[in-house]
Amino acid sequence: MKHRILTRLPLACTVAALSVTAHAAPPSNGPAPATVKPDTVLMQVMEAELTRAMSSLGSNATVPASSASVPASSASADKNTPQPRPYFVSYSVSDAENVSMSAQFGALSGENESHHRTADVQVRLGSEAEDNTHGTHRNSGLTSMPLPLTDDREALGRSLWFATNRGYGRALDSFLQVKTEQQVRAKEEDSSADFSKESPHTALVPIDARFTPESPLLTSKIQWQARLRELSGLFKQFPDIFYNNVGLQASNEVDYFVASDGTRVSTPNHVARLVIVGRTRAADGMDLYRVETFESDELGRLPDQNVLVAKTLAMCKNLEALRVAPVTEPFNGPAILSGRASAVFFHEVLGHRLEGQRQKGDEEGQTFTKLLNKPILPTFMSVADDPTVANFDGIALSGHYVYDDEGQKARRVDLIKDGVLETFLMSRLPIASFSASNGHGRAEAGHMPTGRQGNLIVTSSKTVPETELREMLKAEAKKQGKPYGLYFEDISSGFAVTSRRSPQAFSVIPLVVYRIFVDGRPDELVRGVSIVGTPQAALSRIVATSNKQDVFNGICGAESGNIPVSAVAPAMLVSEIETQRQAQGSARPPIVPPPTETARK
């Protein structure tokens, strides 16, 4: 399985996956938002339909015979044949309202307001030990469909009824296949159950008032339009930057979850994200881009305009410098990864391989499965995942949540202590030695939850100031007979391959890289670098870290969809890292210079 970090939610203009730099923000001075009763009509209808499904499905149940909604084998079943009752049913509804806008070269280029509701119905037949989601049939447990946007009880009920019946048909078909396959296949390596029994939770968190004409998301639109135009207009000063986009997205989302085991949860979520993108091209055809991302839980907590202007101008100047920077050659030697770069590195190289479902199944490479209670990092390093933390040093963390997407309470999980692997990130899918969730079952609407990262936090007991870390890099390079070491300041994105059918490798794409020379020459900006390697080798070569942690916020894509994540880590020195050259590209920079104000007049 390949897992990729996308570093933002979709904005009005789509761009490639980009790196994220989080920034502290001033406190909001606006009034506290109004709240509404969490026990909404939607929640009441969900509970009523759940009760009806559990009492009516199975035994004498009939399944709609629509080829568009259920498998043929289920639809054609004899009506008089007893059908199994579900042992578990859950309804999960995402109710989201969004405002987005974008600008380029000083003018608005897009604007949108949207409201959508998506229902995920999970139906499980059999028992926790073995059900219709077994093995490769995991997705058979989930059926998704849009819901009406208004609180019309009859319309909502009919939609949930249809989704439940369709889900039951799919589950029945898969359950029969699972039973057949178990008779002909070899014994599985991991024979743990398909679903864990958990204590039910009830938590109805007060919900902020929905979008109204007085909502801060809408009343500040004119102000933000002006701010986006100003920021995107700054790119007109730089004729070699042929593309830019400044995009803002703000959302209010409420996630509702009810299940037949008694769980009843509703939690609100608010996101405000500003993404500034610039792109240029070197004379040899290599495309180069930079990005700055600012994220918070409220529009009022995003940085003020002076900070945004300074960051945008600095990014533009760096892009101009990259155009004329030399292309680096493949390198194998010492390097420093900045805090942000280190955070992406740990997310990709380590975090994905500690997700519970990666330890189970015929397709997974299971890099660390057999290394439980054994050292996989230097003894001075520890790693935890703690989605209960909302902020780090004043920076909002994207991976924060109160309850996961299976209705389980978020909790801190100490994955690695003093270098020793202790546990994995668990959803309600058990694995050998771990039969319970630890609050990390996460999914985008329309996907089956799996164990995923939230806020991955890396700590170290062997820290030095960054200036000393730099001197240690020079000493290590000199020891290895290298004229320089590398410093990775900013990283764009990355992906990890965890399937056993492919090499257990990773790749991350740096955006800003410097050569640090051992003879004291000034640092040299270079371009065209890609970091590659294998996880166990890379993790074993960490020598020391800085005494300051930094934050990465982004959107991570995997089999359970795109979810917000964060990673917190210090800069680190590695004794050996391998790089290769990026694709060169063959397109020329723009032939005709851009129009100027004078030319247009």
Is the dihedral angle over the CA atoms 415, 420, 422, 427 positive or is it negative?
positive
Residue whose structure tokens are 């009763």: 37
Residues 6+ apart with CB under 8 A from 325: 524, 525, 526, 527
Instruction: Please give the mean pLDDT across all residues of the chain.
Output: 86
The better pLDDT of the pair 231, 534 is held by 231
The pLDDT value recorded for residue 22 is 38
pLDDT at 532 over 90: no
The SS3 assignment for 47 reads helix
Cα(463)–Cα(515) distance, integer angstroms: 23
Q: What is the pTM of this model?
A: 0.87
SS (H, E, C) 203-225: EECCEECCCCCCCHHHHCHHHHH
The better pLDDT of the pair 594, 386 is held by 386
C-alpha angle 319/324/325, rounded to 5°? 85
Q: How many other C-beta atoms are found inside a 10 Å radius of the C-beta of residue 591?
A: 5
- Distance from the Cα of residue 524 to its chain's centroid: 33
Phi and psi at residue 25, in whole multiples of 5°?
-135, 150
Q: What is the pLDDT of residues 174-232, one digit of tens each?
A: 999 999 998 887 788 888 999 999 999 999 877 655 545 455 556 688 899 999 999 99
Cα(515)–Cα(484) distance, integer angstroms: 6
The better pLDDT of the pair 478, 298 is held by 478
pLDDT at 518 over 70: yes
Cα(251)–Cα(96) distance, integer angstroms: 7
Q: What is the pLDDT of residues 454-508, one digit of tens each?
A: 999 999 999 999 999 999 999 999 999 999 999 999 887 666 665 655 655 677 7
Angle between helices 41-56 and 153-184 (to 10 degrees): 40
Q: Pick from 508, 303, 284, 313: which is nearest to 394 by CA?
A: 303
Q: Pick from 14, 15, 36: which is nearest to 492 by CA?
A: 15
Q: What is the pLDDT of residues 564-581, one digit of tens each?
A: 999 999 999 999 999 988
The pLDDT value recorded for residue 15 is 27
The mean per-residue pLDDT over the stretch 409-425 comes to: 97
Q: How many other C-beta atoms are found inside a 10 Å radius of the C-beta of residue 269?
A: 18
State both tokens at 459. Answer: 């700590």
Q: What is the pLDDT of residues 267-296, one digit of tens each?
A: 988 889 999 999 999 999 999 999 998 888
Spatial contact of 9 and 119, defined as CB atoms under 8 Å apart: no
pLDDT at 18 over 70: no
Cα(148)–Cα(212) distance, integer angstroms: 18
- With 0-12 / 13-18 / 19 or more C-beta atoms within 10 angstroms meaning exposed / middle / buried, residue 517 is middle
pLDDT at 420 over 90: yes
Cα(302)–Cα(294) distance, integer angstroms: 7
Range in 8-17, 334-343, 541-550 the model is least confident about: 8-17
Q: How many other C-beta atoms are found inside a 10 Å radius of the C-beta of residue 110?
A: 14
pLDDT at 553 over 50: yes
The mean per-residue pLDDT over the stretch 551-559 comes to: 89
Cα(398)–Cα(117) distance, integer angstroms: 22
The mean per-residue pLDDT over the stretch 576-588 comes to: 83
Cα(206)–Cα(32) distance, integer angstroms: 13
pLDDT at 385 over 90: yes
Residues 6+ apart with CB under 8 A from 281: 242, 287, 288, 323, 585, 587, 588, 589, 590
Residues in the chain: 601
